[in-house]
Amino acid sequence: MAVRLFDLLHAPEASDTSALKNSPYRRADVGEYRIVYRVEDDVLLEPLIGKRNDGDVYKRLGRMG
């Protein structure tokens, strides 16, 4: 997980990430986990990490917005 976060710091809009619809956030999948974050001026901001199958990361994202 830490390696993936460091990779995203250097290439936050990498081809293996996806933009979330109607949102400034992107997501990256890492095994059983998902990282949701936004990019501003080529800087990765507000990374949220959660299990892929329980939707918790999206619930937390909704509380932030």
pLDDT digits (tens, 9 = 90+) for 3-19: 999 999 999 999 999 99
For residue 58, the one-letter residue type is Y
pLDDT digits (tens, 9 = 90+) for 8-59: 999 999 999 999 999 999 999 999 999 999 999 988 898 999 998 888 888 8
Pairwise CA distance, residues 47 & 19, whole Å:
14
Helix or strand (DSSP H, E) at 39: strand 33-40
Global confidence as pTM:
0.84
Pairwise CA distance, residues 38 & 46, whole Å:
7
Max Cα distance, the chain (Å):
31
